[in-house]
Amino acid sequence: MAYRAVEIIAKKRDGQQLDPAEIRWLIAAFTDGTVPDYQMAAFAMAVFWRGMKAEETAALLDAMERSGDVVRWPDLQWPTADKHSTGGVGDKVSIPLAPAVAACGVAVPMISGRGLGHTGGTLDKLESIPGFNVHLDLAAFDRMVRDIGVSLIGQTERLVPADKKLYALRDVTATVESIPLITASILSKKLAEGVGALVMDVKVGSGAFMKNRESALALAQSLVGAGTAAGRKVTAFLTAMDRPLGTHIGNALEIVESVEILHGRGAADTRALTVRLGGEMLRLCGVATSLEDGEARIAASLDDGSALQKFRVLVSAHGGDARVCDTPEAVLPQAPLVTPLLAWQDGIVTRMDALQIGLAAVHLGAGRNTAADKVDPAVGFVLAKKPGDAVRAGEPLVYVHARTDTQTQAALAELQAAIAIGRDPPTLLPLWLDVVTA
């Protein structure tokens, strides 16, 4: 049945519930060009103001997922799962998590994105490894997952094309923040991978898309509800992003920290997220009997070398230099200048604002403001102190990795504005704020 886009827009504008058939028609017509951008922009704004019922969001998700190629794993020898983070500063968890989960008997066909704004992207980090190719087609992606149980690629032209077109419109029409549209955008890509289980990491705080717990919880509930309605097992964790995650910020630098985690070392908060999110993936797939059992299995894979070995195979399969697993500093690009920001007084680090530090990294060249911007894989920051740490005047707080002295001085000034030193311990968000399950 054919519909008229203007009638669907008016119906949502007036706060009425759309039929699944209307939503399917609209997405298909927008994808093939029958519905022009200006009408879809009007629809997005109507959804922004009027919202969607859970049934409408589920129908939108389904229509977007089916707008292009869909991957299925009917005869795979392992169960499948994936993880998605809503983005933050220093969040490199996908890189150690995917091989750790695969080492524990769950396949991870992960389709990732690039960084935009102050949040980093998994693809940019992986591409800092010499030779690592994220531009595999779906046939090669399928073969790799079947052979080694894990692959990390970018979104192909034929995977969820409706999301590519709609997201570009939302970005320039001030409709990005709509929870139904966010839910459909995130889940359409993940469900098109064909995975049976999903763990969502919804960040909360200054460096997150959702700045407060209430909005993050609403998004988590929407993601779990829509994913469950689509027949998947879904859990969403709310985690802190009021300060950077881990110690390394920047593409090659975050690979260095990821390798540390895979060697059973590294920052405690990065390891904790890797262990818990991975443990829940194992639980949802039935490989672990409980979250605690799953966490123990992931931790063991990090400590016994099996996750590192899986990462080594993954890097080689993608054409990358596997020496990164043993001597990352000898393989990865490095900035010529490394300069410390020194503490200006004795005390306790009371603030390291994630948003400000993330923006400073973008200005340094580690991130991009538009999709067309190039990133410098070598630049970034290494935190010598974290919020709550004691510091003496003259001790390093952060090491700036930069190309030029001008970049260095600008970054030092931005970092000093983002960091506070006081006398009393800081009030920080707990690493784990909440969990939402079906």
Active site residues: 84, 163, 170, 185, 189
Residues 298 and 282: beta-carbon distance below 8 Å? yes
Report yes or no: 350 and 421 within 8 Å, Cβ to Cβ: yes
Q: CB neighbours of 303 closer than 8 A, spacing ≥ 6?
A: 264
CA angle, 143 then 229 then 7, to 5°: 105
**Alpha-carbon gap, residue 245 to 273, rounded angstroms:** 9
Give backbone dihedrals phi and psi of 174, rounded to 5 degrees, phi first. Answer: 60, 35
Under a CB-based contact definition with an 8 Å cutoff, are residues 120 and 148 in contact? no
| Residue in the structure block whose two tokens are 């008229």 | 4
- For 44, the token pair is 């997005």
Strands (E), 129-281: 150-154, 197-204, 233-240, 248-249
What is residue 351's three-state secondary structure? strand
d(CA 283, CA 97): 14
Q: Which two tokens stand for residue 281?
A: 């993936």
Q: How far apart are CA 234 and CA 437, in angstroms?
A: 7
Give the pairing of strands 248-249 and 380-383: antiparallel
Closest CA to 5 of 31, 42, 32: 42
